[in-house]
Every structure is written in structure tokens, then in C-alpha cells.
Amino acid sequence: MTNTNQDPSGSNVETLLTTLNGLRSLRSSVTHYFRNVADGPGPKESEERSDDTTNTSETASSILENIKNQLRDLETQVGGLNPPTTTTAVINLGNTGLLSLDPSPDKLRLYHQLLDCYTWTEKVHFYSTTMNQLLLGNNPKRSVNSLAKRRRPAQFNHNVSQQQVDGMIQGINQMFQVMTLNVSRPFGNNAVVQVTLGRVLRAVVTLKGLLIEWVVVRAFNEPFLDEEGKVDLYTPSQYKVFQKVTDNANAAMLNFCSPGFSDLSVRSFFTWLHSYQSLFTDVCKRCGNHLHNHMPPTWREFRTLDPFHEECKP
């Protein structure tokens, strides 16, 4: 039975099993023949000696005839077996191979199914390896790889060096005369930008890498720092105007956010915020008034930076 362990094909195992059964019955017949010859005539039949000799030889020859038939069958079956070729990989079933030693017939069926399954898996593995080699030869560069390259920077925007962030903020600081940006890092690696826009407003912009996380806009006379002397990231302005501007600034932050081009998106946001320098002197683009419901035009169009009242938004 150990031979079946190494047989790669399930159907082949069935043939092998039949052949082995044939071999077993052949050996049994041969044993029977020799026992028959060794016993000789039994004690009861010793009186009729001549008849007994005939009986013994007749039985022996009939057994021999039987053996001859069985041997012929066995040779035919052995001829039908596929010899294990060197190209076929030997499947190592590990401990599950011991299933084949279980004499219980239902367990033996399980073993054959297991062999089939392993053979199938081996084939899948072989085909996929071949397919992989073929595909590597015809690399679909233009569609797959360039897409992956373009998307990759999006994942690393939050994890950039401090120098890179400082450089970018420095660049924006030089773009605008009336707007000053101060970078501090009260919470470790991530920068907090304190923005002073003329004598109109103060804003705190929290960055995570190159992505803007949170914006708070307050009046010029409201303090940057809280009671403990730390940069106040969350307390909203006490003025309704700047609460509204804070809401719009967060909307703008989300609007300008484009993960592939974070440098540009931060620049666009600060350009947009810079347009609030004339918050109290601008007239609404739609109604032409300074005030509407006691509020100046707190909305700035993202693209044109045109001022609008909340109620006059296009």
C-alpha cells in the first residue's frame, strides 16, 4: 500500500488497488496449492489409496489452473498501470498520507479525494506560474503601473519631513504682504500655523503632514493662546461673523484638498483665506450691499474669490 502514497493520480490509485487485490488472491491460491501438496492424502482416505492420489492431483491441477488465470489477469492489470514518471512531482501529503493505511473503506475514499484535490491544486499552481511568466513578458505598463505611481503620493502626504512643511509655509508667507504665517509644533511632528491677516482676523491652521486637518478663524483682538499659554486649536470665536468664516474655511479646506497635489491645495487654501483681508470693506457681488442681516459678505467663491453674503451665495 505504500506505493499508493506516491501515486499522483486518484484514478490510477483505483487501478493499483484492484491490481494489489489480484496479487493478494494469487498469493493466497499459491499458498493453498502448497498446503494441498504438503498435506497429501488425508488419513480417512488412506484405504482407497489409488483414488486418493487421483483426487489430490486433480485438486492440485485445478488450483494450478486457477493460479494460471489469476497470474494472466494480474499481468494484464500491471500492464495497464502507468509507471510513475520523473516529471510528475511526488505529492507529499504529510500526516494525512497515513489515511491510506486506515483499513476502514469510507476513510480510504477520503484519501483518494484528498489525492485528487492535491493533484488539482498542483495543476492550478503550475498553470498560474506559467500565466505569471507570460504576463510578465507582456507588461501592461501604460494602464496599470502609471496609475499605481500616480496614486502612491496620496498615501504619504501625512508623513513628510518637517523641513518640507516649513519650506512650503515659508513660500506661502512670502506670497502675501499682509498675511503672516508662524509655524509652531506644540504636539510633536505636526505643524500648527498661526495666521494673522492684516488687522482683520487671526486663524489657527492645524496640519498633518501636508494635509490641513482643522481651521479656526477668530477676530484680530481674540487671543491665539489659551489660559495655559498653548496655541488654542479649538475654541470658536465669540463673534458670529468669524464663526461663519470658520465654517466656510473648513468647507474651503475640504474643497481644495487634493491628495495627489497637497502642495497646491495648501497654497490654494491660503490664497482663498487671504481674500478675507477686505472682509469688512467688500460689497456683496450679488446684492451690492455691505451688510445683509447685519453680516458682511462672509462667503468667498472658491475659484473667483468673489465676496457674497451667506444668503446671496450662487
- Residue 26 or 295 with smaller CB distance to Zn ion: 295
Residues 238-259 as b/e (b if ≥16 CB within 10 A, e otherwise) read: eeebbbbbbbbbeebbeebbee
241 vs 287, beta carbon nearer Zn ion: 287
The residues, any chain, with a CB within 8 Å of residue 226's CB and separated by 6 or more, are 232, 235
In the complex with Zn ion, the residue whose CB is nearer, 112 or 244, is 244
- Provide the β-strand partners of residue 203: 195, 217
Least distance from Zn ion to the Cβ atom of residue 172, Å:
30
Residue 280 CB, nearest approach to Zn ion (Å) = 14
Minimal CA–CA distance to 261: which of 168, 174, 144? 168
Q: Output 208 or 286, the one with its CB closest to Zn ion.
A: 286
Half-sphere exposure of 192 (CA within 13 A, CB side): 17
- Kindly tell me the burial class for residue 203, based on how many C-beta atoms sit within 10 Å of its own C-beta (0-12, 13-18, 19 or more): buried
CB of 228: closest distance to Zn ion in angstroms? Answer: 41
C-alpha R_g of the chain: 46
Binding site for Zn ion (CB under 5 A): 284, 286-287, 292, 309, 312
User: Shortest Cβ distance from residue 309 to Zn ion (Å)?
Assistant: 3
**Residue number, 154 or 287, with CB nearest to Zn ion:** 287
Residue with smaller CB distance to Zn ion, 94 or 314: 314
Smallest distance from Zn ion to CB 247, Å: 17
Compute the least distance from the CB of residue 308 to Zn ion, in Å. Answer: 6
- Name the residue with the smallest CB distance to Zn ion: 284
**Please, which residue, 267 or 286, has the CB nearer to Zn ion?**
286
Grid coordinates of 67: 493460479
User: How wide is the angle at C-alpha 180 spanned by C-alphas 174 and 184, nearest 5°?
Assistant: 105
Shortest Å, Cβ 313 to Zn ion: 9
CA distances 210 to 203, 258, 261, Å, are 17, 11, 10
CA–CA dist 71, 73 (Å, integer): 5
Spatial separation of the C-alpha atoms in residues 247 and 215, rounded to whole Å: 9
Closest distance between Zn ion and the C-beta of residue 305, in Å? 16
Q: How far apart are CA 12 and CA 294, in angstroms?
A: 92
Give whichever of 11 and 289 is closer to Zn ion, judged by the CB atom: 289
